[in-house]
Amino acid sequence: METNVIESVAFGGTALVADFSVWGLFLRSDVVIKLVMIILFAASFWSWTVIIDKSLRLRRLWGQAADFEDSFWAGGSLDDLYDRVGNSPLDPMAAVFSAAMGEWRRSSSRGLASTERMRASLQERIERVMDVTMAREVERVERYLVFLASAGATAPFIGLFGTVWGIMNSFQAIALAKDTNLAVVAPGLAEALFTTAMGLIVAVPAVAAYNKFSADLARYSQRLEGFGSEFSAILSRQLEEKA
């Protein structure tokens, strides 16, 4: 389909040529409609940037989580795994493990688990550290998702504002020309309807992506919480064995 669509409307033997392509509608519109189109175009561009980034990032996180769980449950030493992971892991699950092991090592090196009360305090600190790390990592993954929700909620209304403004321009054109021919009304109506379409083009993928990413992140958070609970149980058993 050609992007530059030219329509000819004949009235009284006179051919009135109007460019109804996207670029033609933009150039012919007034300042307010241009501003609405620019805002919606920018929102669409940024929405798709966030969608692509989150899709790739979530796929990468699931793969990294699977690799780390394979290493964790391989039966090796937790200290060796911690030495390999280091203090700055790249994925959230490894970050939770690293934070807990760091607290474990600091407390063990200072002999802070010699009594039952100290062991209970250490267990509580480890769980708190894991909870804080999980919340921070999930918040980092969720960054910019609020933009998708905002774009999905506001884009149709921004487009509707452009529609109302375009219809007002059409009525003004009718009043000035004192003519109700389609040639007088068509340009303003085309601009008005186009802004509505742009609003929907922004909103539909933004809302769909936000719902999908929210569900995926909820499952990923449950996976992190499940790992944190299992790891906490393992450390609790080791504390009991040291008693």
pLDDT in tens, 180-224: 666 656 666 777 788 888 899 999 999 999 999 999 999 999 999
DSSP the chain: --SS-EEEEEETTEEEEEE-SHHHHHHHS-HHHHHHHHHHHHHHHHHHHHHHHHHHHHHHHHHHHHHHHHHHTTS--HHHHHHHH-SS-SSHHHHHHHHHHHHHHHHHHTTTTSSHHHHHHHHHHHHHHHHHHHHHHHHHHTTTHHHHHHHHHHHHHHHHHHHHHHHHHHHHHHHHHT---HHHHHHHHHHHHHHHHHHHHHHHHHHHHHHHHHHHHHHHHHHHHHHHHHHHHHHHHHHHHH-
pLDDT in tens, 84-109: 887 778 889 999 999 888 888 777 66
- Domain map of the chain by residue range? 25-242
Looking at per-residue pLDDT, the higher value among 134 and 117 belongs to: 134
**Confidence tier at 19 by pLDDT (50, 70, 90):** low
The percent of residues above 70 in pLDDT, for the chain, comes to 76
**Confidence tier at 147 by pLDDT (50, 70, 90):** very high
pTM value > 0.85: no
Looking at per-residue pLDDT, the higher value among 102 and 10 belongs to: 102
How much is the mean pLDDT over the chain?
A: 80
